[in-house]
Amino acid sequence: MNGIVLPSADDLRARARAALQRVGATVPDRGTGLRARTPITGDDLFPVPAAGADDTEEAIAAARAAFLDWRRTPAPRRGELVRRLGELLREHKEDLADLITIEAGKIRSEALGEVQEMVDVCDFAVGLSRQLYGRTIASERPGHRLAETWHPLGVVGVISAFNFPAAVWSWNTAVALACGDTVVWKPSELTPLISLACDRLLARAAEDVGAPRDVHRLLLGDRSVGERLVDDPRIALVSATGSTRMGREVGPRVAARFGRSLLELGGNNAAVVAPSADPDLAVRGIVFAAVGTAGQRCTTLRRLIVHREVADPLVDRLTAAYQKLPIGDPFDRSTLVGPLISTAAFDDMRAALDRARDEGGELIVGGERRPAGSAPGAAYVEPAIVRVPGQTDVVREETFAPLLYVMTYDTLDEAIALHNDVPQGLSSSIFTRDQREAELFLSAEGSDCGIANVNIGTSGAEIGGAFGGEKETGGGRESGSDAWRAYMRAATNTVNYSGQLALAQNVSFL
């Protein structure tokens, strides 16, 4: 079978082994429970030991013990650990990017971008370690001081998804460590190697700055390991990133024990294209957002809501761009579309295309699987565009693949109503040169998403802003801005220095 030319599984195994060795991690060579695998060829790479119930118990106990020490460490000194981690991430950028490409199938520039995001969030968290501010509040009583103090929260359980196998960990971990928390990480079962590398670099950083080793513990395993974190009362905060299905299970279980959860779940992101949009900019923004990471970002553009006047020319230009997309080996620097994570992901895409057709949709371009040489277990797919008559059932669901639905509108009110009429609420954008339209889209009556953009696509957020979405996306905020507050607990302090006992609200007693 001809088609896409790929490296061999042996080449990828050697490359992964070399990257792990350079970061100082032990290359797994035996173990049961998990297998490291690559979507580039669909082959298994290494057997990986999964954590059992005893390992989980030991890790949580160790992280809890380390917390009692770490919370006493002054925040700027905690920042030194995060600074050292950032230095090591910079030093090993290429190694980490190799592992991300091997396990998640990301093209080179996106894998390097993911590591850069980790470096950036470390820089952010180092600054944060000197800015964990509380407020002082005007007291209604004379001789009293009213203030709010922020304290470390406890052990944070981080559960992460395959598609940002390292960045999501760093958003949580860099901020949690600066805040005085310790972390137990349960990464996706699909990405154990990059997890081993990140854990090793953090252990090296801890050794270098003299921080307790157990400020961070890694637990490899499937969802059963995640479930143990979810149910354990010693885990003060469960920060879980993944599908809405997962969040629906995790949220109520954590709430049942009055734990805190921070949920970053599925998206179904849309862009509105107005008649005044700059067509060149819109086409580039749409193609990156819809096709980048082979449509496997939570912020991937999945719905395009286009003004009727500009729909045909825009779809023509997008079709031409889609037909030229280089699909193939993500290590090849000319490739823009790498593999889907699995053949099951391709099956989901095909099923969605069939449903879209049954619901009146018309396939404009793409949707076919590309043969991949001698790698039948790999799933390379042509990104697809489907014109739909309206927001049908399949359009309201997240299909985690490069599948873009296009629908039309006549008035901006109609476009915003369509935009918001889905269960998810992660990312959104409008392409327009009309300031009134842009401001309306960003206003309280506009997009109902946690991220709303103008003249840029839905994906590729910077770490400085808080990241997260509303509705079935889970309501969490992570990374920048004041997202750190989720990783701390606030105490309100009233200090009476008056010598009199004055009660609030003029209550008199005794």
Residues found near ligand NAD in the complex (CB under 6 A):
159-164, 186, 188-189, 222-223, 226-227, 230, 241-243, 246, 249-250, 264-267, 298, 398, 400, 426, 469, 473
CA–CA separation, 205 and 202 (whole Å) = 5
- H or E stretch at 152: strand 144-152
In the complex, minimum distance from the CB of residue 266 to ligand NAD, in angstroms, rounded to a whole number: 3
Catalytic residues: 264
Nearest Cα to Cα of residue 295 among 173, 192, 183, 383? 383
Quick one: three-class SS letters along 235-290? EEEEEEECCHHHHHHHHHHHHHCCCEEEEECCCCEEEEECCCCCHHHHHHHHHHHH
What tokens does 59 get? 């890790």
56 vs 432, which CB is nearer to ligand NAD? 56
- H or E stretch at 118: helix 108-128
In DSSP terms, which residues pair with 274 in a beta bridge? none
Secondary structure of residue 72 in the 3-state scheme: coil
188 vs 447, which CB is nearer to ligand NAD? 188
In the complex, minimum distance from the CB of residue 463 to ligand NAD, in angstroms, rounded to a whole number: 12
In the complex, minimum distance from the CB of residue 145 to ligand NAD, in angstroms, rounded to a whole number: 39
What does the DSSP 8-state code read for residue 154?
Answer: -
CA–CA separation, 432 and 454 (whole Å) = 7
Nearest Cα to Cα of residue 403 among 364, 328, 338, 349? 349
In the complex, minimum distance from the CB of residue 230 to ligand NAD, in angstroms, rounded to a whole number: 5
In the complex, minimum distance from the CB of residue 32 to ligand NAD, in angstroms, rounded to a whole number: 17
CA–CA separation, 248 and 254 (whole Å) = 11
44 vs 227, which CB is nearer to ligand NAD? 227
Q: Enumerate residues 6+ apart whose C-beta is below 8 A from 211.
A: 70, 73, 78, 81, 205
Residue with tokens 């404009």: 364
Cβ(428)–Cβ(269) under 8 Å? yes
180 vs 468, which CB is nearer to ligand NAD? 468
Based on the number of CB atoms within 10 Å of its own CB, is 252 exposed (0-12), middle (13-18) or buried (19 or more)? exposed
124 vs 164, which CB is nearer to ligand NAD? 164
In DSSP terms, which residues pair with 155 in a beta bridge? 182, 235
Cα–Cα–Cα angle for 52, 53, 57, rounded to 5 degrees: 120
79 vs 226, which CB is nearer to ligand NAD? 226
In the complex, minimum distance from the CB of residue 470 to ligand NAD, in angstroms, rounded to a whole number: 11
What does the DSSP 8-state code read for residue 379?
Answer: B
Q: State phi, psi for 389 to the nearest 5 degrees.
A: -75, -15
In the complex, minimum distance from the CB of residue 128 to ligand NAD, in angstroms, rounded to a whole number: 20
Secondary structure of residue 162 in the 3-state scheme: coil
Cβ(1)–Cβ(324) under 8 Å? no
80 vs 189, which CB is nearer to ligand NAD? 189
217 vs 307, which CB is nearer to ligand NAD? 217
What tokens does 353 get? 């295309």
> Radius of gyration over alpha carbons of the chain, in Å?
24
In the complex, minimum distance from the CB of residue 295 to ligand NAD, in angstroms, rounded to a whole number: 11
80 vs 103, which CB is nearer to ligand NAD? 103
What does the DSSP 8-state code read for residue 327?
Answer: B
In the complex, minimum distance from the CB of residue 451 to ligand NAD, in angstroms, rounded to a whole number: 10
